């Protein structure tokens, strides 16, 4: 029985496998056309698995050789040629069960002779695939090596190097775009996250082979929380089938909620810990991306953004930096949240209960709860907001903390940065199987205010709801205000929250 792969490249015989037909077709066309190309993707997105699949699909016709420059570092020319030759010989024996004796070249130019010798001894044109190319740090040798490859490329049919594939975690811009580069002859393929269809197909493989089924809601939750990130998708699914619902016929939403809790609160999970570790190295930037994303344009030439992107922490959305994977966002949000501890005693006193904010039919009276929130802000706002930069997330996290205190007391949930169609809502409340959408803005202009309303209406439509809430924090308004706006059949509840306070309050009068 196969399983969900949680470490290393996927073995199709022992693990469920998601086909990537579009980029595979592109790669095979390049190979058939004698093209040389690069492949890039952040770590743990399945590029090694993809390259192994290329080997399987081409090995009958050609001789794919898959080596890695991971340990090459600053090797000198003698060490480089010795290691390169050894790696090539070993891979040919490992993948093709062919033992070759090849003499280590003395000059880098003789690499072309190795390729010819392999062709003469095997009768197959060579596909040379080099993983972790960016790990080779000897720039002079890299340049010489690429010059040799370029000379082979111009006579590729003669030298029998059908294709060269350079693999890296990031786009090899210095190799591809520099006019002085000897390798500006290559195409480029980026390995994306799984699509929704690929995630569902992966889960369906398990259903077909084990007769254990996922509820449709669980499939949706896996897709929405992992956003197609291959390692995390497999990890969530594996935890469900091996731990939470082992030997159960149906994997339910309740099982997923236990998995979600463990991944966000309990487990030391390698994918998540790696993301947090990398984010900590760019703390100031990740805080801005988390709590004021509209100000952070995505620009890969910024080394800080490039670092976070290449390590799978952030991505680009509508030209802005974002944390694409909601579960990563949840963990980062919790790790980098503003320090406003001790506020719970002011948010909910001994006299406060959630019951007074639940209507007779069991729905949440969110406007009444937000009105209670404004009373809290009036007494604590000077302490909470005065002198703080809003991009530090004080506003959104403060609201999240307040709502969670009441909603979770009645077994509801408050989720930050939740995917809604192609966008993200700032806060989503799930209470008694009904959803409430909340968009949070701070210190915005009039044009941004109008844009925020249109954005919220779009989210309401995507969720097929009738209403949504827009909370606007501003230092320019004189007092708190509640506004209702009707847009066709959709209702917007708009709360304007004052943040300009004269001096900190000493104690609460809530």
Q: Environment class of residue 66 by beta-carbon count within 10 Å: exposed (0-12), middle (13-18) or buried (19+)?
A: buried
Q: Quick one: pLDDT at residue 187?
A: 83
Q: CA separation (Å) from 14 to 3, 8, 9, 87, 503? A: 6, 12, 11, 27, 65
Q: Give me the residues paired with residue 496 across strands.
A: 472, 481
How far from chain centre, in Å, is Cα 213? 26
Q: Under a CB-based contact definition with an 8 Å cutoff, are residues 160 and 115 in contact?
A: yes
Q: Where are the beta strands (DSSP E) in 30-118?
A: 37-40, 63-68
Q: Quick one: pLDDT at residue 170?
A: 64
End-to-end CA distance of the chain: 60
Give the 3-state secondary structure of residue 487.
Answer: strand
Q: Under a CB-based contact definition with an 8 Å cutoff, are residues 264 and 232 in contact?
A: no
Radius of gyration for the chain, computed over Cα atoms and rounded to the nearest angstrom: 28
Please state whether 411 falls in left (phi above 0), alpha (psi between -120 and 50) or beta. left
Q: Quick one: pLDDT at residue 317?
A: 83
Q: Please tell me the distance from the alpha carbon of residue 168 to that of residue 109, in angstroms, as a whole number.
A: 24
Q: Quick one: pLDDT at residue 387?
A: 53
Count the neighbouring beta carbons within 10 Å of the beta carbon of residue 188: 14
Count the neighbouring beta carbons within 10 Å of the beta carbon of residue 433: 8
Q: Quick one: pLDDT at residue 390?
A: 46
Please choose, from the candidates 377, 413, 409, the residue with its C-alpha nearest in 3D space to the C-alpha of residue 395: 377
Please choose, from the candidates 371, 462, 364, the residue with its C-alpha nearest in 3D space to the C-alpha of residue 421: 462
CA torsion 310-312-318-319 (nearest 10°) is -30
Tokens at residue 135, please? 């790990």
Q: Quick one: pLDDT at residue 135?
A: 86
Q: Environment class of residue 290 by beta-carbon count within 10 Å: exposed (0-12), middle (13-18) or buried (19+)?
A: buried
Contacts of 451 (CB under 8 A, 6+ apart): none
Record the pTM: 0.76
* DSSP line for 234-247: HHHHHHIIIIISTT
Q: Give me the residues paired with residue 213 across strands.
A: 250
Q: CA separation (Å) from 215 to 185, 234, 255, 314, 413? A: 48, 17, 10, 30, 20
- Angle of helix 326-336 relative to helix 283-291, nearest 10 degrees? 120
Tokens at residue 393, please? 């997330």
Q: Quick one: pLDDT at residue 437?
A: 96
Q: Quick one: pLDDT at residue 294?
A: 72
**CA dihedral sign of residues 506, 385, 357, 348:** negative
Q: Give me the residues paired with residue 262 across strands.
A: none
Q: Quick one: pLDDT at residue 420?
A: 63
Q: What angle do CA 54, 60, 65 make, to 5 degrees?
A: 50
Q: Quick one: pLDDT at residue 509?
A: 42
- Angle of helix 230-239 relative to helix 326-336, nearest 10 degrees? 90
Q: Quick one: pLDDT at residue 223?
A: 94
Low-confidence ranges of the chain (pLDDT < 70): 170-186, 338-342, 384-394, 419-423, 502-510
């Amino acid at each position: 029985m196969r399983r969900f792969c949680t470490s290393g490249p996927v073995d199709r015989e022992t693990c469920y496998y998601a086909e990537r037909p579009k980029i595979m077709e592109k790669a095979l066309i390049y190979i058939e056309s004698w093209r040389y190309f690069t492949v890039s993707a952040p770590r743990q997105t399945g590029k090694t698995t993809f390259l192994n699949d290329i080997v399987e699909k081409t090995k009958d016709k050609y001789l794919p050789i898959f080596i890695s420059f991971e340990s090459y570092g600053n090797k000198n020319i003698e060490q480089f040629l010795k290691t390169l030759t050894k790696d090539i010989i070993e891979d040919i024996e490992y993948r093709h069960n062919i033992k070759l004796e090849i003499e280590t070249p003395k000059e880098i130019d003789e690499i072309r002779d190795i390729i010819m010798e392999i062709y003469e001894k095997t009768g197959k044109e060579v596909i040379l695939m080099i993983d972790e190319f960016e790990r080779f740090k000897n720039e002079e040798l890299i340049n010489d090596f690429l010059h040799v490859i370029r000379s082979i490329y111009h006579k590729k049919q003669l030298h029998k190097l059908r294709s060269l594939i350079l693999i890296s975690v990031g786009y090899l811009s210095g190799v591809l775009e520099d006019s002085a580069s000897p390798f500006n002859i290559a195409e480029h393929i980026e390995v994306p996250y799984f699509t929704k269809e690929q995630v569902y197909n992966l889960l369906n493989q398990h259903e077909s082979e084990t007769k254990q089924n996922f509820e449709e809601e669980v499939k949706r939750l896996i897709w929405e929380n992992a956003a197609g990130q291959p390692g995390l998708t497999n990890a969530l699914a594996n935890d469900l089938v091996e731990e939470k619902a082992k030997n159960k016929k149906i994997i339910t939403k309740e099982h997923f909620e236990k998995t979600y809790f463990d991944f966000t609160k309990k487990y030391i999970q390698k994918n998540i810990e790696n993301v947090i570790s990398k984010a900590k190295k760019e703390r100031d930037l990740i805080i801005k991306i988390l709590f004021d994303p509209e100000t952070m344009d995505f620009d890969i030439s910024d080394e800080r953004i490039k670092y976070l992107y290449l390590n799978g922490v952030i991505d680009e959305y509508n030209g802005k930096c974002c944390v694409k994977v909601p579960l990563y966002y949840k963990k980062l949000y919790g790790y980098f949240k503003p320090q406003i501890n001790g506020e719970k005693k002011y948010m909910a006193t001994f006299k406060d209960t959630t019951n007074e904010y639940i209507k007779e039919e069991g729905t949440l009276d969110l406007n009444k709860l937000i009105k209670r929130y404004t009373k809290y802000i009036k007494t604590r706002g000077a302490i909470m907001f005065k002198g703080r930069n809003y991009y530090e997330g004080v506003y959104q996290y403060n609201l999240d903390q307040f709502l969670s205190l009441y909603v979770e007391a009645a077994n509801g949930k408050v989720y930050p940065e939740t995917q809604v169609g192609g966008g993200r809502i700032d806060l989503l409340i799930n209470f008694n199987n009904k959803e409430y959408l909340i968009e949070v803005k701070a210190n915005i202009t009039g044009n941004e205010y109008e844009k925020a309303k249109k954005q919220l209406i779009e989210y309401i439509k995507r969720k097929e709801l009738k209403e949504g809430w827009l909370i606007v924090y501003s230092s320019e308004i004189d007092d708190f205000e509640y506004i209702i706006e009707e847009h066709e059949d959709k209702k917007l509840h708009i709360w304007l929250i004052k943040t300009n306070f004269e001096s900190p309050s000493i104690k609460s009068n809530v």
